[in-house]
Chains A and B, each alone.
Chain A
Amino acid sequence: MPIQRREFIAAIGTGVVASTAGCTQPGQSNSQSDGESGGSQAGVAGETLTLTTTTSTYDTGLLDEIHPAFEDMYGVSVDAVAQGTGAALESARNGDSDVVMVHARGLEDEFMRNGYGINRRDLMFNDFVIVGPESDPAGIQGMGSATEALTAIAESEAQFVSRGDNSGTHTKELNLWEAAGTEPGGDWYQETGTGMGEALNVANQQGAYTLSDRGTYISQRSEIDLVILVQGPIEDGPEILANPYGIMAVNPGVHDNANYDLAMAYIGWITSPGAQDAISSYQVNGEQLFFPEAVSENPNFQQYVPEGWSSDSDG
């Protein structure tokens, strides 16, 4: 079915929230054209967008909260697959998803450099926190430095749970160990190979420390006894614990089956003021989990390309 480009571009360009009058229901065929009246379908109605993302965006309930607005606007459905950053990028590399929402800039840069991802946008941020049992056997409470805290944990050989699943959080944790100049290992260091929620549960059961994104921790705080011992930058902690999320479309030049039009509609929508407001007003247990980053007075053009990229350094 040919994309009605003019209508599509018009719908994106105006950025007008479509009136719900005459809205196509998701799943309905898109044979009906609604002429030039600027209706809610931009030639993508009835299609499905596959989004591979991290367990943190999914398990916090954020996506379930904000996606209906997008689905209604375009008459489409979004399939969100929560995998963790490494797996989400791998699915996209294989052409099994149309758009990725992840949080590991190094891996995102590599993904773009290899030509798989294009049109990256900064989306939102939260931060990482080091959580642990209230008894705090390694005595890291109130340390202003994440690396010092990890060094203290390693020296006292207090139990530490690692995600160990190549996720964004796991990548950050490994970077922290590297920055601390400590090689984690031994009986006290356990890799669970699971999502953030599961890792928090394991740490909770064992009275262990772990590195968590603040969002998942807040979502689960009522279920666990772990407390935040080292804060991230949102609560004036060290900048190294920042956790920015990015979103990228899968390059249709590499995978011609990627639904590029819908992916760009999604990126356009989620970085729009309306969706960014929805992100900042999403709360769990009375706390804001994610802070929007896409709308800014001073556009940061480095967000579109790998960091440090220039046209002659990369072919």
Chain B
Amino acid sequence: MPLDSVGHLLQTVVDLPFRDGYVSSIIYVSLYVSVIAVTLSTLFSIPVAIVMGFGDFPGKQFVKSVINTGMGFPSVVVGLLVLFTVSNQGPLGTLELIFTKEAMIMSQFVLATPPITAISLAAISGVDENVRDAAHVLGGTRVDVALVVLKEARYGIATAVLAGFGRAISEVGSVLIVGGNITSAGGISKTRTLTTAIQLEARQGQYETAMILGAVLVALVLTVNAVVVRLGDQEVQR
């Protein structure tokens, strides 16, 4: 790792953002794909967590173990499964989704859903029984009770969404397979994310650029974390 070229590194930092929107378009694609995937995943996961947190139904343990397995499911395999699904030969072949952002959203959705569901469920289950009882005693319907519990668990749920976002945006294997790491000839990203760009720059031996993109990625994740933590703090203080 050539760390002796500090001057060179600085030069790269200065040049990089002005390379015709290359970096900004990569950041945009990363955020676009991950935010949409995590939003959809949240809309899907929270209801599932609520049903599992409040209800008892046969097969609940099985669903739980499926979710827990999903937490550790290798992302590359998810990418492979999505590839088979959206490839021209696959069941969704007619939609021509291969090498598009939509295919990347699909794979990140699959990746983000298990942690969001599992952590939300833990947060909901962790709400004190007394809170539920109190809500019932005050004449709350099941919906009211659920809302009260969700309000109590909001911090845990925010953590869940964060964990999902973290998994989605730092994932490289599956988006590389289904997205194809494409930029237009003008150097504007179409399906190139921060992670796949880092992979490409490292492949070409452009370690400085790779490091800068890595720093951008870390900064992005930390910023999102900081914002959510702040929101949580304010809520707690109120």
Contact = CB atoms under 8 A, between A and B. Distances in A.
Interface stretch (B50-58, B112-120, B177-185): B177-185
B187 interface: yes
A223 B210 CA distance: 14
Interface in B1-16: 2
Interface stretch (B66-74, B147-155, B199-207, B221-229): B199-207
Contacts of B203: 55, 59, 194-195, 197-198, 201
Nearest to B187: A64
B93 interface: yes
B76 to A, nearest CB: 12
Looking at B2, B89, B185, B186, the one whose CB has the most chain A CB atoms below 10 A away is B185
A169 B204 CA distance: 16
B205 A63 contact: no
A50 B99 contact: yes
Nearest to B90: A94
Interface in A219-265: 219-220, 223-224, 255, 257
Interface in A153-207: 194-195, 197-198, 200-201, 204
A94 B205 contact: no
B89 A63 contact: no
Contacts of B202: 198, 201
B205 A257 contact: no
Contacts of A95: 87-89, 93
A45 B204 CA distance: 33
A95 B181 CA distance: 18
B185 A64 contact: yes
Interface in B185-213: 185-187, 190, 202-207
B88 A200 contact: no
Interface in B78-119: 87-89, 93-94, 96, 98-99
Interface residues of A, number: 32
Contact of A94 (B87, B184, B186): B87
A162 to B, nearest CB: 16
A48 to B, nearest CB: 9
Contact of B205 (A55, A68, A200): A200
A95 B204 CA distance: 29
A23 interface: no
A275 interface: no
A2 B197 CA distance: 37
A218 interface: no
B96 A257 contact: yes
Q: Which of B93, B98, B183, B204 counts the most A-chain CB atoms under 10 A from its CB?
A: B204
A223 B181 contact: no
A68 B99 contact: no
A148 interface: no
B206 A79 contact: no
Given A194-B203, A201-B205, A257-B88, A81 B181 contact: yes
Interface in B25-46: none
A145 B202 CA distance: 32
Contacts of A109: none
Residue with the greatest number of chain B CB neighbours at <10 A, chosen from A197, A204, A224: A197
A41 B93 CA distance: 28
A82 B200 CA distance: 10
B185 A94 contact: no
Nearest to B183: A64
Given A59-B203, A77-B184, A79-B190, A255 B88 contact: yes
Contacts of B190: 79
A80 interface: yes
B204 A59 contact: yes
Interface string A61-101: 00110011001000001111111000000000011100000
27 contacts: A50-B99, A59-B203, A59-B204, A68-B186, A79-B180, A79-B184, A81-B180, A81-B181, A81-B182, A83-B180, A95-B87, A95-B88, A95-B89, A96-B87, A96-B88, A96-B99, A194-B203, A200-B205, A201-B202, A201-B205, A219-B204, A220-B204, A223-B2, A223-B205, A223-B206, A224-B205, A255-B88
Given A195-B203, A257-B93, 10 more contacts: A59-B204, A64-B185, A64-B187, A77-B185, A78-B184, A78-B185, A79-B190, A81-B99, A223-B205, A257-B88
Interface of B: 2, 87-89, 93-94, 96, 98-99, 180-187, 190, 202-207
